[in-house]
């Protein structure tokens, strides 16, 4: 088995955090918190476990955050003993290579998409009964038993194979090609957040960030509510071109300022000394696909009174300096979403992946042009260089392939 993983080793994390801004290749040295491993194939740890051979896997911002130690060991989830090792690569499609004797969901040769494997153990993979309330609802990422002892999966999408419980992957429909299958997971991140907090017809919607999750959020909003008035902040020209193609009504670069936000929403902008200001009568709904201190501060000041800011992005560090006064002063709702699970839409409840499959089949999720770079798995170092090159490489989604 070949795999790339990151360990929760605080001294190495701090060293990686200190050195990689000046020397990115430090992550591949023995002193970093990351490891590139070549092991003997581990045996299946239980009768309901399977081995999956990867076909292709996308590079996600969360992979980069873990690899380059942008994730801070002071965040609350770092206290969980379950979060000791992270196998990188979760936007993956693969083929089942081996099944345990009690596996019922799959047979050798089936094509599968990673589901909960990256998020760690849960009641299903630990085979716990009764299941916790979140696993009972199908939202395994919120499992209350994830830190209990039991077998854990090995490996991830960045490598040749991984070993996982049969419940931690999902069948890939035959009508999807490998690109669509690999993009199902990141699409489900957008779909889960938008379906939980959907826009209404005519709502003024802002999407902050036009990386892959921001663009997929735009695609999802257009698929679910085409009558919403969508504005997106896209930093780079290639992102702006894709946002226009996907149907954004207004495309900003992030340098326009608060007065532009006010003019788009029909609100009023007020500023004061020592204060960046506030827009009164701003956006009904904001999906923050960056979710760092700067964007959260802006989003709370750009939302109308009683509006909602949804953190679809995941900033894995504390957020000093975030002004939360708008939560009580304008009663702005600040909520976060994580991973995917089950969603209800138009009275029907099903797995987020099934909603993605439905909209793929209806032709409402046009992914052409989103995969901008492809590399063989053996060229992972070059792939990560491109992924961290910001706008220079004009990358949107980078795919590692067999």
What is the structure's pLDDT at 135?
A: 96
Give the model's pLDDT for residue 300.
Answer: 98
Q: Would you state the pLDDT for residue 71?
A: 85
Q: What is the reported pLDDT for 355?
A: 98
Decide: helix, strand or coil at residue 27.
Answer: helix
Q: What's the CA angle centered on 254, arms 250 and 258, to 5 degrees?
A: 85
Bond before 138 cis per omega within 30 degrees: no
* Pair 250, 172: CB distance under 8 Å: no
**First and final C-alpha spacing in the chain:** 14
pLDDT at 206: 98
Rounded to an integer, what distance in angstroms lies between the CA atom of residue 259 and that of residue 267? 9
User: What pTM value is reported for the model?
Assistant: 0.95
pLDDT for residue 82: 80
Cα three-residue angle 182-223-303, rounded to 5 degrees: 105
Domains and CATH numbers, the chain: 2-172+371-401 (3.90.180.10), 192-336 (3.40.50.720)
pLDDT at res. 291 = 95
What tens-digit pLDDT sequence spans the chain (402 residues)?
999 999 999 999 999 999 999 999 999 999 999 999 999 999 999 999 999 999 999 999 999 999 999 988 888 888 888 888 999 999 999 999 999 999 999 999 999 999 999 999 999 999 999 999 999 999 999 999 999 999 999 999 999 999 999 999 999 999 999 999 999 999 999 999 999 999 999 999 999 999 999 999 999 999 999 999 999 999 999 999 999 999 999 999 999 989 999 999 999 999 988 888 999 999 999 999 999 999 999 999 999 999 999 999 989 889 999 999 999 999 999 999 988 999 999 999 999 999 999 999 999 999 999 999 999 999 999 999 999 997 899 999 999 998
HEC profile of 311-322:
ECCCCCCCCCCC
pLDDT recorded at residue 80: 86
Question: What are the phi and psi torsion angles at 110 (to 5°)?
Answer: -70, 145
Backbone angles phi, psi at 385, to 5 degrees: -60, -45
CA Rg value for the chain: 21
3-class secondary structure per residue, 254-270? CCCCHHHHHHHHCCEEE
């Amino acid at each position: 088995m070949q795999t790339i993983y990151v360990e929760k080793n605080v001294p190495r994390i701090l060293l990686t955090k200190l050195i990689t801004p000046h020397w990115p290749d430090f992550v591949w040295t023995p002193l970093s918190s990351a490891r590139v491993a070549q092991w003997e194939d581990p045996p299946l740890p239980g009768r309901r476990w399977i081995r999956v051979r990867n076909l292709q896997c996308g590079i996600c911002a969360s992979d980069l955050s873990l690899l380059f130690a942008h994730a801070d060991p002071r965040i609350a989830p770092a206290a969980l003993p379950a979060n000791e090792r992270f196998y990188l690569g979760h936007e993956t499609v693969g083929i089942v290579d081996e099944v345990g004797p009690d596996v019922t969901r799959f047979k050798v040769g089936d094509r599968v998409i990673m589901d909960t494997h990256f998020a760690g153990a849960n009641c299903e993979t630990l085979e716990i009964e009764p299941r916790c309330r979140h696993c009972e609802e199908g939202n395994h990422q919120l499992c209350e038993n994830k830190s209990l002892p039991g077998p854990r999966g090995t490996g991830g999408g960045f490598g040749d194979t991984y070993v996982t419980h049969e419940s931690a992957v999902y069948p890939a429909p035959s009508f999807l090609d490998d690109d669509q299958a690999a993009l199902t997971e990141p699409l489900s991140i957008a779909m889960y957040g938008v379906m939980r907090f959907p826009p209404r017809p005519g709502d003024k919607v802002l999407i902050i960030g036009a990386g892959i999750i921001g663009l997929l959020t735009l695609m999802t909003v257009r698929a679910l509510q085409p009558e919403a008035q969508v504005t997106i902040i896209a930093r780079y020209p290639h992102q702006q071109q894709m946002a226009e193609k996907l149907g954004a009504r207004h495309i900003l670069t992030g340098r326009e300022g608060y007065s532009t936000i006010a003019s788009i929403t029909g609100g009023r902008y007020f500023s004061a000394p020592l204060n960046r200001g506030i827009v009164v009568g701003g956006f009904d709904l904001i999906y923050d696909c960056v979710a760092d201190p700067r964007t959260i501060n802006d989003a709370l000041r750009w939302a109308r009174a009683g509006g909602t800011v949804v953190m679809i992005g995941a900033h894995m560090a504390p957020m000093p300096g975030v002004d939360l006064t708008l939560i009580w002063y304008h009663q702005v709702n600040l909520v976060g979403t994580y991973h995917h699970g089950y969603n209800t839409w138009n009275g029907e409840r099903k797995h987020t992946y099934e909603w993605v499959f439905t909209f793929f089949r209806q032709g409402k999720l046009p992914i052409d042009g989103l995969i901008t770079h492809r590399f063989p798995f053996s060229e992972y170092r070059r792939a990560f260089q491109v992924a961290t090159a910001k706008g220079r490489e004009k990358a949107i989604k980078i795919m590692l392939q067999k």
